Each structure stands twice: as C-alpha cells, then as structure tokens.
Amino acid sequence: MAASSYRLSQDQFVCPICLDVLTEPVATPCGHNFCKSCITQHWAVNIPCRCPMCKEVFYTRPELRVNTLISQMAAQFRPTQPEPTRGAAEEVSCDVCTGTKLGALKSCLVCLASYCGTHLEPHLTVLGLKKHQLIHPVENLQVRMCVKHYKPLELYCKMDQVCVCMLCMVLDHQTHNVVPVKTEYEEKLTELDEKEAELQQMIQKREAMIGQLKHSVEVSYESANREKEQGLQVFAALKEPIDRGLAEFIETIDNKHRPIEKQAKGLVADLEQEMFDLKKKSEKLKQLSCSEDHFQFLQTFWSIEEAKDWTGVSVRQPSYKGTVAAAVAELEEELSKEMQVFFEAELKTAQQYATNVTLDPETANPWLVVSDDRKQVTFGDVNKNLPDNPKRFSYYASVFSKNSFSSGRFYLEVLVEGKTKWDLGVASESVDRKGQVTLSPLNGYWTVSLRNGNEYKAFAETRVRLRLKSVPKKVGVFVDYEDGLVSLYDVDTAAVLYSFTGCSFTDKLFVFFNPCSSDGGRNSAPLVLCPIQNLQLKQLYSRIKSGINN
C-alpha cells in the first residue's frame, strides 16, 4: 500500500548543474545524476574530474552511459513544447571566464551575472549562494537593476504595474500593493490560459470575418459577372440597330450621290475630249496663220467646226437635308422597341418578388379613409378623432403599409388612375411622422410624386422632373434591400419612372402612401393596392391557350 501511494516529483529529476529536467541522464561513480552534456562540459575545464555535489575526485574520467530508465522517467516532467533555444549568434557568454569564454548555463538575478558550468558550481554548493534566483541565461542583466538605487528589481507594484527594488517599496511605494516578482509571475501565469482562450476566440472571430468578407467578394464578383453578361447582351441588342441604321444611312447617302458622280464623270469625259479637239484646232489655226496660200487658207478656215455650246449644262445637286434626322428617328424607333423588350423583362423579373401588402390604419392620418380590406386609401371629408399614437402621421395625409422589410426584395403595384396628385414609394421606420418634413432620402423617404395632373417628380437629393411619354395608370414599386435599390415602374408600358440607386438602408422599410387632398373632388380617386397574378400561372395559362389554338 505504501509503495502504491508513492509519487515521483520533478525535483528528483533535476540536473544539479543546469537546474533543468535531466537530458540524457548519466550517473557518476559516487551515485549523483547529471545531464550528460552538463557534466562533460564541467569536466572539460576541471582537472582532475570532481563530482560537483560531493566533491569526490576521479583521477580517471569515468565512462558515462545514459540511463534509459531514468531518461524515460525524466521525460514525463519535461515540457511538451520545449523552450525556444538560442542560436549560436545569441549564445550568452560566461561573465567570469577569461580568455575564451564558455557559454553560460544560468544567469543569477542576485549577482546579475551569467555563469558557465564551472563557475556556476558555488551557487550549487555554497549555502548562501544556493538561495540566489537562477534563470536561463539572458543578456543585459543590468536592466534588471533599479537605476535609482542600484538594487535588484525583485518586487512588483500592482498599482503602478512596474518592477521595483526594496528601497523603491520603502520610499516611493510604501502604501501600494507590492509583491515579489515571482508571486506576480505565478499569478499572471494562471491567467495565461484565459488570455490564450480569449486570443483564440478573437482569432476565430477574425477568421470568420475574413471568411465572410471573402464570401461577400465572391458573391459580389458573381453578381457583377451576371450583371456584366446581361449588360453585354442588352448593349449588343441596342448596338445592332445602331450598326444597321448607320449602314442604311450611309447607303442612302451613297445612293443619292452615285448618280451625280456618274453624270459628272460623263460630262468631265466629254469636256476633256472636246478640250483635246479644241487644242488640235488651235494648232491648225496657228499653222494656218503662217500660210500665204489664199485658197488653202480659206478652204481650211471654213472646215474648222464651231465648239459645242455648254451653256446651261450643270449637275443638279441632290438634297441631303433631313437624311440624318430621318435616320435618327428610325433608329430611335428601333431602339425604343429593343429597350421596351428589356424593360418588360426587367419588370417581369421584379414581379417575381410580388408581396401581399396591406395598409396599417394605426399609421393613417385622421383625414384618411382606409378600406375594410386595407387595400385602398383615400382622402376623407372629416378629420376623425383618433388616438395620436407615435406611429400615426399627424401632419401629412399619409399611411404606411402593415408590412415591414429589413432584407431581401419585394414588389407591389398600386392603381393611381384618375388621380391628379399623389406620393408613392418607401420610407424608413424612424421618419418624423408628426412634423413637416421634406420627402427626400436624407430624411428617410424614397418617393415619386404627381402634381397638377401631369407634373411628375422624383424626390431624390434634389427634385428631379420626370418627362414621361404616357400617364401611368398603375405604378409598380420594387425594392432590393441589400443592393440599395428602389425602382418605380409604369406597369402598362414597363417604363422605369425613376430608380434610386446606391441607397444605404439601416432601418426597417415600409411602403409609403400619400393620396393627397381631394382637391375639390378632382383628386377623390383612391390609391389601390392591386393583386398581382402569379407569373408562372400566367405563363402556364398562355402555353395551354396556345396549345388549344394550335
């Protein structure tokens, strides 16, 4: 029982020279154990060989062999991760050696000196020196001395978090909590695991953030490539009629120019031929002027024909005016068709995110009348006495949707036919609902408005006047929360009324409705939330109908 309860301790496997756990343990004939390298180095400078512990002299150097059993037992106490070793260039030299200095095995914090195995011996045998604190050899031991009192910095002030000497404690830190450096070291050593766990947790969090950021880049890259591909297709489709229109325009101009060029070339050829003939006649006349034969002169003179009369002969210039305008007009029509196809496709994509939206009477201004099914809102005849809760609009004749959105995409359609003025769009939950506020993204509103029956404006950072080709009867509202996009469409023509891009949403979004005042009955029509048929069902119905007709 006694044997079973016996436990080995690390102190039993410490080398008396280096004070570390035995490495390659060997035993001297006197029975003391040392590291093989430590005792070998000690005997290299001490002749005759002597045991550092009992001082027994060996006139013949003993043959040392590693004790494998003790080596295995000592390994249990050796740290699993060895302390960093110094390179040859960083080796600490013995401060006592003269001439060739040996490498130090230990440094003494009391003596402030480093010692090789031989010069370390007094610290292992002399009773007074045994109490000195030995550590692994380090350089610059002077930094461990108090510069003020030149005493060892062997104490630690917890209040000031500095190492101090005995005199510092008495003179400057008398009322402070001062402990031995070793005590503070051991206390902080126990906190290392917690610190390490915190650091590992911080590392994991940052690794997760890096992963999220890289994933965001990948998602953005994929989205960008998809958008580029779609853009290339769209611009290629738009470029095709431009190239075709340019070719047709050039052909039209050439067709007008070619007859003129052909006619002019023919006339030039005739003129050049006649010039050649005239030059020949001119030579004849010069020769005739030198003739003294009266008969021959008269015969030749009358044989010369008169030149052709070119008076009135000209090339009639064609009219090129209006050709460019006509080509541009035709191109505009072609581009409009191509753009219409694109806008229709974009609207169909937005409609895939159709959401069933209802109005929230709790937010409606007291002048507004919300239908029982919460799908219509109009300006009423009386200002109802309603509780003025924080959510209710009290200044503007406005109302929010019951639905809120803080992520993803959504789409809805609102009937605006018959109205002369309205405001429609989305707004942040935190907007001011009680006072007069300008509708703008800076104040949390992304809206389009109608005034005077035909004046359309987008309330961006500055008001943007919208020039529309037709009067919208039904307006579609599409929002992509993550992409920061708000687009409003003319549903019948698929035209984009306005798009707010690059928005930074940080709050819940609600659909914003303002039917405006009835304007003496001219604006009494309601704003109506319209049901949106499922596109897949529509496409299926279209295919079935097409099959029946065929």
pLDDT in tens, 35-56: 888 888 888 777 788 888 888 8
Scanning 312-363, the segments in alpha helix (DSSP H) are 323-351
Q: Is 511 helix (H, G, I), strand (E, B) or coil?
A: strand
Instruction: Give the pLDDT confidence score for residue 455 in this predicted structure.
Output: 94
Q: What is the pTM of this model?
A: 0.51
pLDDT band for position 79 (50/70/90)?
Answer: low
Lowest-pLDDT range, 99-103, 336-340, 376-380? 336-340
Q: Is 218 helix (H, G, I), strand (E, B) or coil?
A: helix
Residue 85: is its pLDDT beyond 50?
A: no
Give, to the nearest 10 degrees, the angle between helix 181-289 and helix 323-351.
160
Strands 113-115 and 485-490 come out as unpaired
DSSP 155-170: EEETTTTEEE-HHHHH
The token duo for 395 is 């200044």
Distance CA 178, CA 160 (A): 10
pLDDT in tens, 155-186: 999 999 999 998 999 898 989 999 998 888 88
Instruction: Give the pLDDT confidence score for residue 373 in this predicted structure.
Output: 95
pLDDT band for position 365 (50/70/90)?
Answer: very high
Mean pLDDT of 142-151: 82
Q: Is 151 helix (H, G, I), strand (E, B) or coil?
A: coil
Mean pLDDT of 189-215: 89
The token duo for 201 is 């947790």
427 contacts 506 by C-beta, under 8 angstroms: no
Strands 155-157 and 162-164 come out as antiparallel
**What residues contact residue 62 under an 8 Å CB cut-off, 6+ apart?**
28, 29, 49
427 contacts 512 by C-beta, under 8 angstroms: yes
Instruction: Give the pLDDT confidence score for residue 86 in this predicted structure.
Output: 40
**Alpha carbon distances (Å) from 440 to 241, 306, 345, 448:** 39, 87, 29, 10
Q: Is 134 helix (H, G, I), strand (E, B) or coil?
A: strand
470 contacts 493 by C-beta, under 8 angstroms: yes
Residue 308: is its pLDDT beyond 80?
A: no
Lowest-pLDDT range, 150-154, 447-451, 521-525? 150-154
Residue 281: is its pLDDT beyond 90?
A: no
Kindly report the backbone phi and psi dihedral angles of residue 513, in degrees, each rounded to the nearest multiple of 5, phi listed first: -125, 135
In single-letter form, the type of residue at position 197 comes to: A
507 contacts 525 by C-beta, under 8 angstroms: no
**What residues contact residue 71 under an 8 Å CB cut-off, 6+ apart?**
22, 24, 25
pLDDT band for position 402 (50/70/90)?
Answer: very high
Identify the residue with better confidence: 285 or 54: 54
pLDDT in tens, 410-450: 999 999 999 999 999 999 999 999 888 889 999 999 999 99
Residue 313: is its pLDDT beyond 60?
A: yes
Identify the residue with better confidence: 86 or 17: 17
End-to-end C-alpha distance for the chain, whole angstroms: 101
Residue 72: is its pLDDT beyond 90?
A: no
Q: Which residues pair with 498 in a beta bridge?
A: 488
Instruction: Give the pLDDT confidence score for residue 461 in this predicted structure.
Output: 84
Distance CA 433, CA 364 (A): 10
Distance CA 472, CA 450 (A): 10
Instruction: Give the pLDDT confidence score for residue 247 in this predicted structure.
Output: 87
Instruction: Give the pLDDT confidence score for residue 293 in this predicted structure.
Output: 75
pLDDT in tens, 228-264: 888 888 788 888 888 888 888 888 888 888 888 888 8
Instruction: Give the pLDDT confidence score for residue 270 in this predicted structure.
Output: 86
